[in-house]
């Protein structure tokens, strides 16, 4: 089948979205398509035409969503400036937003052109593919289509459209918009989100309080997973925080190579607000803003703001518990003890500045990497301590990927396509990242970090 749309968001107040039309594209070309995702969605690839994927053959009228957000701490009213939802696809009783990114201007575009570059859309395709296979809840990319236009950002490139799939694109910032611009709709909107994502709460006496609780829990799980694999989102604004813990909006994101909690690559994050080690406190800050949006419900239900604050007060303990459980698993420790040893290991990482991903593989199998930092007496002594209580191979292999999307390899693959039109390196990375927890006989280059000078100079961009 093709898409089976039933777009319930259109039943909400019309102030929350705008009806839009994708831009005209004469000769869209499919560069990559995720056939596994097509199968997961019950789509027949034979009937999924390029015109349909590019928004040229519409099954219903698309919409762009309105939302707000704190961007680097400053509140702004926003909206889908270059994205539009084709519809909500139904398959096996599940609902998925099918969204086009880079499909043209919307009422929320402001001064933006509504376009996207081919390198940025290929980049999001690869990152979301990797995150899915790293077992991290994420948006997924169905396809990237190149367009016949030139798009100027840092350089001029061919344009592209990404077909993105999520359970929904509802975010903390959507609630901020509703609370600020359509407060009379807040209870109805919250009920809609609960029905769509957390229907089990409808049987609860305190469903709004429980709703905040499950949103906080899903967000904690998401960020702990980021920390597990060394992922830096790069733009943790409230408008980029999914209401059900899906990682999305892969703009200036990157993976940390050498362990440093102050690692930041984004060109616009001048003060390190969203650095690797700041993602935890920023999540807490974002949740505080989300709690504020629910405050009007206190006058409309049995919810009290004091109860929300009590939930927030439990954030640190809940995050600690989740993080420590994750780190013990990475170290192969099958118990709830050994926190001092975990702390000692983390301190070694801070001092040594060792490659984060490869450190765990070296602990698991000594001699895997020819890196002087792993040949030190201190590392050997630390490994011996860990071996006495942990380094369980099965636990470690579940938690520690053999491969991550190495930033320099991604840039090399994207440059090759822009310069020669050859996607071989890009598709080679997709092959490696198809199963990042299994070692492959493909040469060691996919596991090697870049020269340290690369990371010092490496910069990522939003490309909006």
- Please give the positions annotated as active site: 239
Contact 2, 42 (CB under 8 A): no
- For the beta carbon of residue 412, count every other beta carbon within 10 angstroms: 13
Question: 3-class SS at 239?
Answer: helix
Q: Any bridge partners for residue 88, and if so which?
A: 97
Residues in the chain: 464
Q: Any bridge partners for residue 148, and if so which?
A: none
DSSP readout, 13-55? -GGGEEE--PPP-SS-EEEEE-HHHHHHTT--TTT--HHHHTT
- For the beta carbon of residue 155, count every other beta carbon within 10 angstroms: 9
Contact 63, 9 (CB under 8 A): yes
Contact 103, 23 (CB under 8 A): yes
Could you give the CA distance from residue 231 to residue 276 in angstroms, rounded to a whole number?
7
Contact 44, 23 (CB under 8 A): no
Could you give the CA distance from residue 8 to residue 130 in angstroms, rounded to a whole number?
30
Contact 96, 89 (CB under 8 A): yes
């Amino acid at each position: 089948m093709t898409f089976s749309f039933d777009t319930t968001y259109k039943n909400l107040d019309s102030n929350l979205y705008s009806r839009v039309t994708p831009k005209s594209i004469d000769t869209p070309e499919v560069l990559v398509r995720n056939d596994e995702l097509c199968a997961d969605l019950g789509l027949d690839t034979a009937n999924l035409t390029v015109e349909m994927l590019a928004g040229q053959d519409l099954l219903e009228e698309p919409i762009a969503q309105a939302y707000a957000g704190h961007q680097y701490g400053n509140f702004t009213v926003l909206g889908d400036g270059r994205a539009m939802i084709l519809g909500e696809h139904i398959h096996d009783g599940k609902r998925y937003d099918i969204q086009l990114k880079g499909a043209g201007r919307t009422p929320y575009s402001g001064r933006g052109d509504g376009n996207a570059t081919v390198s940025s859309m290929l980049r999001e395709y690869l990152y979301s593919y990797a995150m899915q296979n790293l077992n991290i809840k994420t948006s997924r990319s169905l396809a990237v289509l190149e367009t016949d236009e030139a798009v100027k950002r840092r350089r001029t490139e061919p344009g592209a459209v990404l077909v993105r799939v999520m359970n929904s694109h509802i975010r903390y910032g959507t609630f901020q918009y509703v609370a600020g611009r359509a407060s009379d709709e807040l209870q109805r909107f919250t009920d809609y989100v609960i029905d769509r994502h957390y229907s089990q709460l409808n049987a609860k006496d305190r469903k709004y309080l429980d709703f905040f609780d499950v949103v906080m829990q899903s967000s904690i799980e998401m960020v702990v997973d980021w920390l597990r694999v060394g992922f830096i989102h790069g733009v943790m604004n409230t408008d980029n925080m999914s209401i059900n813990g899906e990682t999305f909006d892969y703009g200036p994101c990157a993976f940390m190579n050498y362990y440093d909690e102050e690692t930041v690559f984004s060109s616009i994050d001048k003060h390190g607000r969203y650095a690797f080690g700041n993602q935890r406190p920023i999540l807490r800050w974002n949740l505080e803003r989300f709690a504020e949006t629910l405050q009007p419900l206190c006058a409309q239900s049995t919810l009290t703001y004091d109860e929300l604050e009590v939930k927030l007060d439990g954030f640190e303990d809940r995050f600690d518990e989740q993080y420590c459980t994750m780190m013990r698993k990475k170290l192969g420790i099958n118990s709830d003890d050994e926190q001092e040893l975990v702390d000692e290991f983390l301190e070694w990482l801070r001092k040594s500045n060792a490659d984060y991903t490869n450190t765990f593989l070296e602990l698991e199998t000594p001699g895997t990497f020819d890196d002087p930092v792993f040949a030190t007496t201190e590392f050997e002594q630390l490994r011996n301590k860990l071996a006495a209580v942990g380094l369980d191979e099965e636990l470690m292999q579940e938690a520690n990927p053999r491969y991550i999307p190495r930033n320099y390899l991604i840039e090399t693959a994207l440059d090759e396509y822009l310069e020669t039109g050859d996607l071989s390196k890009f598709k080679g990375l997709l092959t490696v990242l198809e199963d990042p927890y299994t070692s492959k006989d493909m040469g060691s280059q996919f596991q090697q970090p870049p020269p340290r000078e690369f990371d010092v100079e490496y910069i990522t961009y939003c490309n909006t």
